[in-house]
């Protein structure tokens, strides 16, 4: 556990116990002070959680359990005020926890890897049940896993963002690569993992290009899935930015290119329970080309809707880009 997180949790627990003691003694001033301590410690805990990139669903779950125990404490102490306060928090937290963990979760786009469809600052709703329900934070399946489809805009934990994942798990076919290809992959993967990994991983959003058993090739900007080229039509070519309309898996979407990877070449024979994920912004995306396959175990859901855009704190949130994600 993180030292600061432990300290903030201890501050919250101390403030909570103090609140009970002072409220029973009907010391209004000290009760308010203890209540302020709880509010400050909760804020510090939330900030620390985001800094550590810990799964927020787990923390919500912990607060739900704590508020339920607080109800029992209030009943044991015969404190009507504590019981009523805890019950109100318990119901609110339980509803938020269930919605966020099993229905829809908000997620903000942090990079330009999915331009033009998704822009930096877009807030999307992630459908948490599209690939089956999982226990928050630990990816333990609660229902049967639903297979992704080609063309899905999926949210997942890439292998390099999880400290426990080894390069061989990210590329089970590593032994089939040439010596130079395998060495290059190992060097890049371990370097990225050292910079970005955490216990619970970091959510990425990319488009699913290949499914288990598929043979996928990328030659420049041409993508071949099982020998068939993905349909791609030029839409716009201005100021060095080129936009194409692609068709994959019955879905039509825009991709962006800058003609800086025309000589790029990749080939994959996708193993069981693995998926190939590529960003729509083909020249500015850290994806399967760099860190390997997406594991079925770490699928989170599909990005279904853009519901708000907020590019910086100096601007007001905008709802002009609200749309269903293709």
**pLDDT tens for each residue of 170-203:** 999 998 999 999 999 999 999 999 988 888 889 9
Query: Which residue in the block uniquely carries the two structure tokens 């699928």?
Result: 299
Q: How confident is the model at residue 51 (pLDDT cuts 50, 70, 90)?
A: low
Among positive and negative, which fits the CA dihedral 5, 10, 15, 19? positive
Domain tally for the chain?
2
pLDDT in tens, 61-78: 888 999 999 999 999 988
- Establish whether 219 is a catalytic residue: no
Q: CB neighbours (10 Å) of residue 257?
A: 22
- Same domain for 180 and 230, yes or no, is yes
- Same domain for 162 and 27, yes or no, is no
Greater model confidence, 248 or 264: 248
Q: How confident is the model at residue 1 (pLDDT cuts 50, 70, 90)?
A: low
Last residue of one domain, picked from the residues 102, 121, 136? 102
- Same domain for 57 and 155, yes or no, is no
- Same domain for 92 and 153, yes or no, is no
Last residue of one domain, picked from the residues 80, 102, 124? 102
How does the average pLDDT of the chain come out, rounded? 91
Question: Cα(224)–Cα(236) distance, rounded to whole angstroms?
Answer: 22
SS3 126: strand
- Same domain for 145 and 7, yes or no, is no
Contact in structure between 68 and 13 (CB atoms under 8 Å): no
CATH code for the domain in which residue 229 is found: 2.10.109.10
The runs of H, that is alpha helices, within the chain are 3-24, 28-52, 56-77, 80-102, 167-170, 179-196, 288-291
- Same domain for 172 and 316, yes or no, is yes
pLDDT of residue 272: 95
- Same domain for 255 and 203, yes or no, is yes
- At residue 144, does pLDDT exceed 70? yes
- Same domain for 82 and 113, yes or no, is no
- At residue 303, does pLDDT exceed 60? yes
Question: Cα(100)–Cα(168) distance, rounded to whole angstroms?
Answer: 32
pLDDT of residue 52: 65
**Selected catalytic residue, list 113, 130, 295, 309:** 113
Q: Torsions phi, psi of 256, nearest 5?
A: -115, 140
**Selected catalytic residue, list 128, 134, 203, 206:** 206
Pull the structure tokens for residue 304.
Answer: 């279904």
State how far the alpha carbon of 316 is from the alpha carbons of 144, 159, 308, 309, 319, in Å: 41, 35, 11, 9, 10
- Same domain for 142 and 220, yes or no, is yes
- Same domain for 97 and 171, yes or no, is no
Question: Cα(325)–Cα(208) distance, rounded to whole angstroms?
Answer: 14
In terms of residue numbers, what domain contains 305?
105-324
Contact in structure between 302 and 240 (CB atoms under 8 Å): no
pLDDT of residue 50: 67
- Same domain for 70 and 129, yes or no, is no
Last residue of one domain, picked from the residues 70, 102, 134? 102
- Establish whether 128 is a catalytic residue: no
Q: How confident is the model at residue 291 (pLDDT cuts 50, 70, 90)?
A: very high
- Same domain for 84 and 115, yes or no, is no
pLDDT of residue 206: 98
């Amino acid at each position: 556990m993180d030292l600061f997180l432990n300290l903030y949790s201890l501050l919250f627990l101390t403030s909570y116990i103090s609140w009970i003691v002072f409220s029973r003694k009907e010391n209004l001033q000290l009760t308010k002070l203890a209540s302020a301590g709880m509010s400050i410690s909760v804020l510090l805990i939330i900030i620390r959680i985001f800094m550590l990139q810990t799964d927020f669903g787990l923390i919500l779950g912990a607060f739900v359990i704590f508020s339920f125990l607080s109800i029992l404490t209030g009943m044991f102490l015969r404190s009507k005020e504590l019981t009523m306060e805890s019950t109100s928090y318990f119901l609110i937290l339980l509803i938020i926890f269930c919605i966020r963990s099993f229905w829809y979760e908000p997620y903000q786009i942090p990079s330009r890897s999915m331009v033009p469809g998704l822009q930096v600052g877009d807030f999307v709703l992630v459908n948490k049940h599209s690939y089956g329900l999982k226990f928050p934070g630990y990816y333990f399946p609660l229902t049967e896993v639903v297979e992704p489809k080609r063309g899905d805009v999926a949210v997942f934990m890439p292998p390099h963002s999880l400290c426990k994942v080894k390069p061989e798990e990210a590329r089970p076919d590593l032994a089939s690569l040439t010596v130079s290809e395998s060495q290059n992959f190992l060097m890049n993967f371990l370097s990225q993992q050292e910079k970005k990994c955490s216990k619970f991983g970091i959510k990425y959003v990319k488009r699913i290009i290949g499914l288990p058993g598929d043979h996928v090739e990328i030659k420049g900007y041409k993508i071949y899935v099982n020998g068939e080229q993905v349909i791609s039509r030029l839409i716009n070519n201005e100021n060095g930015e080129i936009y194409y309309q692609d068709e994959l898996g019955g879905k039509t979407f825009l991709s962006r290119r800058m003609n800086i990877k025309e000589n790029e070449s990749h080939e994959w024979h996708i193993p069981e329970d693995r998926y190939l994920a590529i960003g729509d912004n083909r020249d500015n995306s850290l994806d399967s080309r760099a860190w390997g396959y997406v594991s079925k175990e770490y699928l989170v859901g599909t990005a279904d809707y853009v519901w708000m855009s907020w590019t910086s704190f100096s601007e007001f949130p905008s709802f002009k880009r609200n749309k269903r994600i293709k």
